[in-house]
């Protein structure tokens, strides 16, 4: 009898995301009989997710089954794959805190979930929970692969590899394939005819090659076309969000010679060039959407109210293939059929110009042997230099978590390019104090309270 996989979803209350992944999984014949173990701490969201999964199973006519759990370890027991998607502290109170407290110091952000003071705080809140999942996995499913969809991706991946090196894990994002689709659209080319190779770190990887397949089977470099389209005002074309034109990344293409994989709104806060106090001209010129993430959160919360009711009343839930890598990984590991994905893994010398122990985002071969990162070598020096500015913040945040040394939280904020360009040392110290105090019990015990309160 052929065994079917067990797939655990930790944070299954992220219903729309979970629906996309499960929909992808159930459309693959080798996975269509899977047991889907849903776990979430919110009973209402968990129940809503179970409704969606059961209707997907019925719509597709497959033999999969869904189970729900409030106990994480029970959900994980015997799992082959563990999908993690949660936001510790949610929009309220934690995301609001990450935006509103820095704003009192004149420090404005766009997304604040990956780098900067917002990313540092999210890392401090999130990593301890990921470590608990690792502990449970070692106890009840030590051979399972963790597919981690949580930000700050690079900090999380680095911290897991540092503390639990035997856990099989990959951090997954859709920015590489998503941006490639955007650029193909900007050039009016079919995405299927594009060939690319990307490497770097999550949210700051670059297309080392971006090419179009010709009729004779050869490939043509598309970078000159992208630069020309930008200079002539034909690119970027309007995207899904009118608040977020893609001008920052195109401008950086003209300066660096390579296109970065994550969005302009993200990239604007990873560097010191675009968001500056007293420079509204830059915000206007590049269309930088300050406070973008809170706006999205509010819109998503409002949209979900109607969506949840629609799912509950629908007899069928139609599903299309998403662009997420999860089902491709599961299918390749389960069947041995090879695939290539872009994953976040411990660098281990894949990118020789970056630290050996950092979290790198590189092409990975996936087959029955698991996820196998590929060798890149040195990146162009200007890309290495820019990426290192972000790695500095990630490394110090991981060091703070590993050593429980509060000083490294302040050091991480000091090294952040955007924060350091806007605030002086006293302001940075005071801002971190205020953030640690405001987040309170959402943080691990050793990090709670500002320096003032800790010293008192």
State the catalytic residues.
Answer: 174
Query: What are the beta bridge partners of residue 151?
Result: none
Concatenate the DSSP letters of all residues of 244-274 into one string. Answer: --SHHHHHHHHHHSS-BSS-HHHHTTTSSSS
Q: Can you tell me the distance from the alpha carbon of 238 to that of 286, in angstroms, rounded to the nearest whole number?
A: 13
With a CB cutoff of 8 Å and minimum separation 6, the contacts of 347 are: 354, 355, 356, 357, 358, 359, 360
Instruction: Say if residues 110 and 293 touch (Cβ distance below 8 Å).
Output: yes
- Is 203 among the annotated ligand-binding positions? yes
* Nearest C-alpha neighbor of 207 from the set 229, 189, 187, 180: 180
- Is 173 among the annotated ligand-binding positions? yes
With a CB cutoff of 8 Å and minimum separation 6, the contacts of 42 are: 13
Q: Can you tell me the distance from the alpha carbon of 266 to that of 264, in angstroms, rounded to the nearest whole number?
A: 5
Phi, psi of 45 (to 5 degrees): -65, -35
Radius of gyration of the chain (CA): 22
Give the Å distances, CA to CA, from 133 to 63, 142, 156, 179, 327: 28, 11, 12, 31, 21
* Nearest C-alpha neighbor of 431 from the set 92, 104, 113: 104
Q: Can you tell me the distance from the alpha carbon of 265 to that of 281, in angstroms, rounded to the nearest whole number?
A: 16
- Is 439 among the annotated ligand-binding positions? no
* Nearest C-alpha neighbor of 207 from the set 219, 195, 220, 191: 195
Does the N-terminal peptide bond of residue 93 adopt cis geometry, omega within 30 degrees of 0?
A: yes
* Nearest C-alpha neighbor of 190 from the set 181, 198, 199: 181
- Length in residues, the chain: 456
Give the Å distances, CA to CA, from 278 to 63, 108, 268, 282, 283: 60, 12, 16, 9, 10
Return binding residues. Answer: 151, 173, 203
Return binding residues for Mn(2+). Answer: 173, 203
Return binding residues for substrate. Answer: 151
């Amino acid at each position: 009898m052929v065994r079917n996989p067990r797939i655990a979803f930790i944070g299954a209350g992220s219903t729309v995301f979970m629906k996309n992944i499960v929909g992808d999984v159930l459309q693959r014949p080798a996975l269509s009989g899977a047991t889907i173990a849903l776990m979430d701490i919110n009973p209402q969201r968990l129940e809503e997710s179970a409704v969606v999964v059961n209707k997907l199973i019925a719509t597709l006519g497959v033999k999969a089954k869904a189970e729900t759990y409030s106990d994480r370890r029970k959900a994980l027991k015997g799992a082959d794959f563990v999908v993690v998607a949660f936001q510790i502290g949610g929009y309220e109170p934690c995301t609001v805190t990450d935006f509103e407290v820095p704003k009192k110091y004149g420090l404005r952000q766009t997304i604040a979930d990956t780098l900067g003071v917002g990313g540092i705080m999210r890392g401090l809140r999130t990593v301890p929970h990921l470590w608990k999942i690792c502990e449970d996995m070692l106890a009840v499913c030590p051979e399972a692969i963790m597919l981690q969809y949580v930000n700050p991706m690079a900090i999380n991946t680095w911290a897991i590899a540092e503390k639990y090196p035997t856990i099989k894990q990959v951090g997954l994002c859709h920015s590489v394939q998503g941006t490639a689709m955007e650029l193909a659209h900007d050039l009016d080319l079919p995405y299927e005819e594009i060939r690319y190779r990307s490497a770097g770190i999550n949210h700051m990887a670059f297309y080392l090659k971006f090419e179009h397949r010709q009729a004779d089977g050869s490939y043509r470099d598309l970078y000159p076309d992208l630069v020309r389209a930008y200079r002539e005002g034909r690119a970027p074309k309007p995207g899904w969000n009118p608040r977020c034109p893609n001008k920052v990344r195109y401008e950086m293409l003209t300066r660096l010679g390579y296109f970065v994989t994550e969005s302009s709104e993200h990239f604007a806060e990873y560097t010191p060039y675009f968001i500056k106090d007293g420079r509204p001209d830059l915000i206007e010129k590049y269309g930088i959407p300050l406070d973008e993430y809170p706006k999205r959160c509010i819109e998503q919360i409002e949209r979900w109210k109607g969506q949840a009711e629609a799912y509950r009343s629908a007899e069928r839930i139609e599903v299309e293939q998403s662009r997420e890598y999860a089902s491709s990984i599961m299918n390749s590991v389960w069947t041995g059929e090879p695939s290539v994905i872009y994953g976040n893994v411990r660098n281990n010398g894949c990118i020789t110009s970056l630290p050996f122990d950092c979290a790198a985002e590189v092409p990975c071969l996936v087959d029955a042997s698991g996820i196998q990162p590929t060798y890149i070598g040195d990146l162009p020096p200007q890309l290495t230099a820019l990426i290192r500015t972000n790695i500095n913040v990630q490394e110090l945040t991981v060091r703070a978590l590993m050593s429980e040394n509060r000083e490294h939280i302040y050091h991480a904020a000091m090294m952040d390019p955007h924060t350091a360009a806007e605030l002086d040392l006293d302001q940075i110290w005071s801002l971190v104090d205020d953030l640690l105090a405001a987040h309170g019990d959402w943080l691990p015990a050793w990090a709670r309270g500002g320096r003032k309160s800790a010293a008192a």
